[in-house]
Amino acid sequence: MTFRTVGTVLTIACMALLVPAVSGAGPSLPPEPDENTRIEELFDNDARLYLLLYSLTGDGRVDYVTGRRVHEQARSEFGNPIYYAARYPQFYWWNHTLWIDSEQDGLSGNEVVYQENVEFDRSRYKPCQFNGQPC
């Protein structure tokens, strides 16, 4: 076998090993959206998560959510809540998929899919009716 033939065989073998890994990978998360697309902030008292809701399309519909662990919460002198949360999110919801970043190190590629085909249920945090008025 010539040197060129061996090189070609090794190149094809390496490419064959890489192709399944690339084709099997799902869509990666987009970067955390800009504050201008944020439409709401919620606090999940049960899970101790500070949720930021975004509308990437700008139509007011929630299509990206991040959830940060809350380490401590307090009230300002005016009674407003103050949350001391983790720098980076632990949960991301985008494209009907819930992702978890157990390292909480930002979007670094180590995020894993926690659940697919899931809708973000905003009504869990805000009732549909308040004093008979729709929200």
pLDDT in 10s for each residue of the chain, 135 residues: 443 433 333 334 433 333 333 333 456 889 999 999 999 999 988 889 999 999 999 998 999 999 999 999 999 999 998 999 999 999 999 999 999 999 999 999 999 999 999 998 887 776 566 566 665
Q: Are 114 and 98 in contact (CB under 8 A)?
A: yes
> Which pLDDT score, from 0 to 100, does residue 124 have?
78
> Which pLDDT score, from 0 to 100, does residue 28 have?
84
Q: Are 62 and 82 in contact (CB under 8 A)?
A: no
User: What is the distance, to the nearest Å, from the Cα of residue 133 to the centroid of all Cα atoms in its chain?
Assistant: 32
